[in-house]
Amino acid sequence: MAGDSLSQRTAQLDTAEREHLEHVVTEMRDRVEDNVRFQLTQSGLDEAPQDRDALSDDEQELVDAIDLEASDDESWTEAFEQYVTGVGYTIVNRLAALRCMEVRNFVDEEVTVLKENGLTPAAETLVHEEFLLENEAILEAYHNACDDLAEEIEILFDRSSVYSLLDPDDDTFEDLCGMLDSVPDEVWRADDVLGWVYEYYNRPVVEALDAKNTLEPEDVGPANQFYTPHWVVRMLADNSLGKLYLEATNQEDAIPDPESLSPEERKSRLVTPEDAPSVHELCTYLIPDEEPGEAPEFDHPRELRVIDPACGSGHFLLYAFDILERIWWAETDLDRAEIPAKILEHNLYGVDIDLRSCQLSAFNLYLKARTRAEAEEGRFEMPNVGIVCADARVAEVEEAADVLDEITGEGTDLREAIDEIIETFHHTEALGSLLDVSGTLEEAFDAETTQTELGDYADSSHQSLNSFLKALRRAVDDRTSDSFGEQNLKSFLNLLVVLTQEYDTALMNPPYGSRGRMPDDVTQYIEANYQYTPEYYINFFEACDQLSRPNGRVGMLVPRSFMFKRRFLEFRADFIGSR
């Protein structure tokens, strides 16, 4: 552990580092999008093709990809520009992720650093051993690295995705690598660097949406891309997850007096094992309660669950990892090198409507866990992680209807309830984790019936809707292929499982908005399924309350409008009352 140099820096970037990174990301965005736009224009795709039958196979794939970007009332030009942004971001994000791995020595040979001879180390090997031409070797080495990593982190490095149909040309790739290299290695080692890349790349989109009075469903995700300051993340997590653990283990006396640390001491405390080996030493923002609280009991750390229902790039989950790691140290005798994978497997869950956010969140957790495992001189294998995408498109499961009929019984109450929730989610864009799964399915769920129907997939009887959905997910895994619709069904069932579990702690910086900032379909759904007035942060608080087990904790960053606006009177009365 003494050699854990990667953990010696603070988890967040300082102002000067962020400003330089923003400048670099802006340059990369402009360069790569110009190149993608040029390549598409060279293929004549800057305008909608009149004769699609005359297109080559590659051009037809690109046309299909651009079509996927278009909403019902969007023009080809709008869809074209959205596709350019998607491809550009994928390239920049992938290169930045590779750079993060290179500075951690997670790849054998660098693919983003150019030597004096104009080749990357990995490309140089291909020239000498595979006899590739120099102008082919650089991109081929990049492709090989992505393909190798896709076996472990498919969500980010899968080159079969629609945004991977175009590569930057040779000159652009070299320019992008040069821009990456202008950022110091220690910046690429920070926990939050890819979150800032995400925010800076999408800043023009966000600024344009800020000027709109009314948001379309597809605008909700980008309009709420704001990065939570690290000290805010720590304050919320310390006083929810951290305090919950101390209360559950009768360690409330370890919570320091508020005056014992200055604001700067709270903010600057390093998170290394040497500097903060226990929960109470790590959680510098702990504030003692006037009255002792009750916490859910647990027998083993694997029972603790933390969710961020709008996880973005995973900032809350990354810090929750630090707290959970210390809980595992204290409560188990496991080899410390084994614990990072256990945390990802059992403890952390996230949902977001933006696939790119989910990719980032999963990758950031991978980097965090692998860095810690290797610092403890162990090997790390990526488990399945609980990060799920709540994009309405995952409910496009028509191709898989026969599979559901076979498993749940065509025409049964349960099958019809599943259809209802699929239809609702599919046609209520930007709903995300506000989907009330339990409210829709619980009434149709019959433990005795479903135990019989899914007996081959259950370790025990289905005493809960969540255990039934897990068994249904296993059954679907066994009976489906890799078709688009059936893959969507698996993804949708993953979402349902995550949204029907109970959590000890919910942490988030929720979306904000009502009226014009909340799409009409979402407003109508909230009015029909939630107790309080439609307002994103209020409704997410209600969702978090439903997701949390009795005596669980919710840590949220919210505006103060609920304290005095008349339309929040009912919520305010419950919030400060006995509920």
Summarize pLDDT for 518-550 with one digit per residue, the tens: 888 899 999 999 999 999 999 999 999 999 999
Q: How does 93-105 read in b/e, with b if 16+ C-beta sit within 10 Å?
A: bbbbbbbbbbbbe
> What does each C-alpha distance from 282 to 272, 401, 404, 496 come to in angstroms?
9, 49, 47, 34
The CB-side HSE value for 554 (13 A sphere, CA atoms) comes to 21
Confidence label for 246 from pLDDT (cuts 50, 70 and 90): very high
From 69-73, 128-132, 358-362, 382-386, the region with the lowest mean pLDDT: 69-73
Measured between alpha carbons, how far is 220 from 8 in angstroms, rounded to an integer?
37
Asked if 368 and 104 count as a contact pair (C-beta separation under 8 A), the reply is: no
- pLDDT tens digits, one per residue of 360-400: 899 999 999 999 999 999 999 989 899 998 887 776 777 67
Greatest Cα pair distance in the chain: 75
pLDDT exceeds cutoff 50 at 147: yes
pLDDT of amino acid 292: 73
Confidence label for 1 from pLDDT (cuts 50, 70 and 90): very low
Asked if 96 and 180 count as a contact pair (C-beta separation under 8 A), the reply is: yes
pLDDT exceeds cutoff 80 at 419: yes
pLDDT exceeds cutoff 70 at 499: yes
pLDDT of amino acid 6: 41
DSSP 202: T
CB atoms < 10 A from the CB of 148, how many? 13
Q: How does 513-545 read in b/e, with b if 16+ C-beta sit within 10 Å?
A: bbeebbbebbbebbeebbebbbbbbbbbbbbbe
> Does residue 503 sit in helix, strand or coil?
strand
> What does each C-alpha distance from 347 to 95, 325, 383, 558 come to in angstroms?
29, 10, 12, 25
Q: What is the average pLDDT across 70-91? A: 89
Measured between alpha carbons, how far is 331 from 451 in angstroms, rounded to an integer?
35
pLDDT exceeds cutoff 50 at 146: yes
pLDDT exceeds cutoff 90 at 289: no
pLDDT exceeds cutoff 50 at 351: yes
pLDDT of amino acid 480: 58
Confidence label for 485 from pLDDT (cuts 50, 70 and 90): low
- pLDDT tens digits, one per residue of 442-470: 777 764 455 444 444 444 455 688 888 88
Q: What is the average pLDDT across 250-274? A: 84
What sections of 105-262 are H helices per DSSP?
121-129, 134-150, 154-157, 170-181, 185-188, 193-201, 203-210, 220-223, 230-237, 243-248
Task: Tell me the residue ranges of DSSP E strands in 436-559.
Answer: 503-508, 548-556
pLDDT of amino acid 541: 95
Above pLDDT 90, what percent of the chain? 56
Backbone torsions φ then ψ of 503, nearest 5 degrees: -125, 145
Q: Which amino acid is at 305?
A: R
Of 112, 143, 113, 138, nearest to 126 by C-alpha is 138
Measured between alpha carbons, how far is 193 from 203 in angstroms, rounded to an integer?
15
Q: What is the average pLDDT across 302-329? A: 96
pLDDT of amino acid 446: 60
pLDDT of amino acid 268: 78
Q: What is the average pLDDT across 55-64? A: 94
pLDDT of amino acid 3: 39
Q: What is the average pLDDT across 273-289? A: 91
Asked if 310 and 536 count as a contact pair (C-beta separation under 8 A), the reply is: no
Q: What is the average pLDDT across 410-438? A: 84
Name the token pair of 435.
């989907």
Measured between alpha carbons, how far is 71 from 362 in angstroms, rounded to an integer?
28
From first CA to last CA, the distance across the chain in angstroms is 46
Confidence label for 341 from pLDDT (cuts 50, 70 and 90): very high
Above pLDDT 70, what percent of the chain? 91
Please, what sign has the CA dihedral across residues 95, 98, 104, 107? negative
Q: What is the average pLDDT across 19-41? A: 97
Residue 306: strand pairing partners: 348, 505
pLDDT of amino acid 317: 97
Measured between alpha carbons, how far is 368 from 322 in angstroms, rounded to an integer?
9
pLDDT of amino acid 188: 96
Instruction: Output the average pLDDT for the chain.
Output: 87
Backbone torsions φ then ψ of 290, nearest 5 degrees: -65, -35
Measured between alpha carbons, how far is 36 from 162 in angstroms, rounded to an integer?
13
Asked if 360 and 198 count as a contact pair (C-beta separation under 8 A), the reply is: yes
CB within 8 Å of 424: residues ≥ 6 apart: 431, 435, 440, 525
Residue that wins the pLDDT comparison between 30 and 254? 30
The CB-side HSE value for 181 (13 A sphere, CA atoms) comes to 13
Q: What is the pTM of this model?
A: 0.88
pLDDT of amino acid 462: 53
Confidence label for 484 from pLDDT (cuts 50, 70 and 90): low
Task: Out of 167-171, 396-400, 511-515, give the one with best mean pLDDT.
Answer: 167-171
Residue that wins the pLDDT comparison between 209 and 308? 308
Asked if 126 and 137 count as a contact pair (C-beta separation under 8 A), the reply is: yes
pLDDT exceeds cutoff 90 at 20: yes
pLDDT of amino acid 108: 92
Confidence label for 154 from pLDDT (cuts 50, 70 and 90): confident
Measured between alpha carbons, how far is 474 from 459 in angstroms, rounded to an integer?
11
pLDDT exceeds cutoff 90 at 331: yes
Residue that wins the pLDDT comparison between 94 and 515? 94
- pLDDT tens digits, one per residue of 171-206: 999 999 999 999 999 999 998 899 899 989 988 888
